[in-house]
Amino acid sequence: MTVLLVLLLLLNINSIAPASLHGEEKEHDIFAEINISLSLLLSLCDNIKFEQGGTCVNGQCVCLAKTTGRYCEVSENHCEPNPCYANGKCNQTEEGYVCECSANFLGPNCNVSENHCEPNPCYANGKCNETEEGYVCECSGNFLGPNCNVNIVELYQPQL
């Protein structure tokens, strides 16, 4: 914004400089000209919408704590909106944030299910049972395979 003020002053140098520099002998009110330039600068705040409580002071946006950006549009609160999935709790840190995950979820954003049976990987109404290695499907009816996805009736039916 300081650059803008200097630019405004340079653009108005002919009207601000004493008349004697231009070979004229008429009198100028230099303070009136500076006030006009300052008024132009202050009017730059008109019609600008500052977000999150930001205000305009001397042509510059002044943001509240934890907000930045040209119009205070950037929130420095990394927990808003909450980046943690599955009802994870977001904790602000100096580096950004850390998620506290709820039961059965893990990962930096709590988006990895620790429960291998949710959603159920077993087809054909197979029952999923958690194991230390992952899960095992209990297949029902005519289905078998690691995920109960093989229909033994179709498998052994003669092809015509």
Q: What is the DSSP string of 119-135?
A: S---STTPEEEE-SSSE
Looking at the fold, whether 86 and 97 belong to one and the same domain comes out as yes
Range of 69's domain? 49-76
Task: Please report which confidence band the pLDDT of residue 136 belongs to, taking 50, 70 and 90 as the band edges.
Answer: very high
**pLDDT for residue 100 is more than 60:** yes
- How far, in Å, CA of 149 to CA of 23, rounded? 97
Say what the pTM is: 0.35
CATH of the domain at 129: 2.10.25.10
Q: State whether 89 and 104 are in the same domain.
A: yes
7 in the same domain as 25? yes
| Together in a domain, 61 and 26 | no
Q: Based on the structure, what is the number of domains in the chain? A: 4
Residues 129 and 96 in one domain: no
Q: For 97-125, what is the mean pLDDT?
A: 90
* Region label for 14, one of left (φ > 0), alpha (ψ between -120 and 50) or beta (otherwise): alpha
120 and 158 in a single domain? The answer is yes
Q: Is the pLDDT of residue 8 over 60?
A: no
The reply to whether omega before 158 is within 30° of 0 (cis) is no
111, 82 contact by CB (below 8 A): no
